[in-house]
Amino acid sequence: MSEHSHSANAQFHDPAHAAEFDRRAAVSDIRGQLAERLIEAMALRGDETVLDVATGTGRFARPVSGCLAGGSVVGIDPALAMLRVSRDSDADPIPRYGRVAATAERMPLREGIFDCAWVAFSLHHFVSATDMVREAGRVLKPGGRLFILDPIIAAADDALDAAVNSLINDVFQRSHGAGFRFFAQEEIRRLMTDGGMEVVRDDLHTYPVDQDGTDGIPTGRHWIEVMDELEHRPPELKARFQERYFRYERTGDQVHLSGGFHFGLVAGEKRPGAD
């Protein structure tokens, strides 16, 4: 099976990067609001055993664990530095939370033991997202659901759209490795079905922005890199980017953003009798 790009990307194994990642995630209102949307969609009773795929520093595991009076969360991630950040928060430990250091495409877990699973803000890091979906389906009980929550790009309607999306992924790959890619909403649905799941939920969440700088915006500094790259590309590329994503204006070193960021929340269900 393919290797999770967390394993290939040295940043995720760097303790300083892991700590900074956790700090930024803690102050992101968008992440906090999306965690609430995820929890609403999961509709937990409170006694489930749930799986956090690519758990990172446990920022999504924490609010989910608060919904489990008698259940538990298992977080899996290959990056020990990220897992250690969550472990070192033992002064304020995440309740009912265990950690497993392993790749999501080859989980050292028995079949059919989880009531539901989720992967939040990590889909874009998998070299083989379909392998991840299949493996999540393997460890789910029949009727269990996998929830994917991730930033999305616009579906490409023409060659200019495709060029914009390719540029976005190319810029992000410079920092995160060749396996990085953002998906369009319809591509996430296709991942679910290709991975043997039946799509039962398909939500789009848009968060408007009108602010100076990228504070609170997930992966904000990389979007600045995209803007810098656009300044050296044909003007029609920048115009299409601003049409499909957000507008930006520079005044000296300051960048003002206006528009919206889009996030997909797709759920797939493991049908009874599925392998």
Give me the DSSP letters along 44-70. --S--EEEEET-TTSTTHHHHHTT-SS
**3 near 127, Cβ under 8 Å?**
yes
Q: With the C-alpha atoms ordered 196, 1, 82, 183, is the resulting torsion angle positive or negative?
A: negative
**pTM listed for this prediction:** 0.88
Tens digit of each residue's pLDDT, the chain (275 residues):
333 444 445 555 555 554 555 556 555 678 889 999 999 999 999 999 999 999 988 889 999 999 999 999 999 998 777 777 766 655 678 889 999 999 999 999 999 999 999 999 999 989 889 999 999 999 999 999 999 999 999 999 999 999 999 999 999 999 888 889 999 999 999 999 999 999 999 999 999 999 999 888 888 889 999 999 999 999 999 999 999 999 999 888 889 999 999 999 999 999 876 66
C-alpha–C-alpha distance, residues 89 and 107, integer Å: 25
Question: What's the confidence (pLDDT) of residue 16?
Answer: 55
**75 near 122, Cβ under 8 Å?**
no
Fold of 5-153+177-206+262-269: Rossmann fold (3.40.50)
Question: What's the confidence (pLDDT) of residue 1?
Answer: 30
Q: Hey, is 129 helix, strand or coil? A: helix
Locus of tokens 């990085």: 180
Amino acid 51 reads: L
Within 10 A of 218 (CB to CB), how many other CB atoms are there? 19
Amino acid 170 reads: D
pLDDT in tens, 195-206: 999 999 999 999
Which of 116, 109, 119 minimizes the C-alpha distance to 149? 119
C-alpha–C-alpha distance, residues 1 and 235, integer Å: 41
Domain boundaries, the chain: 5-153+177-206+262-269
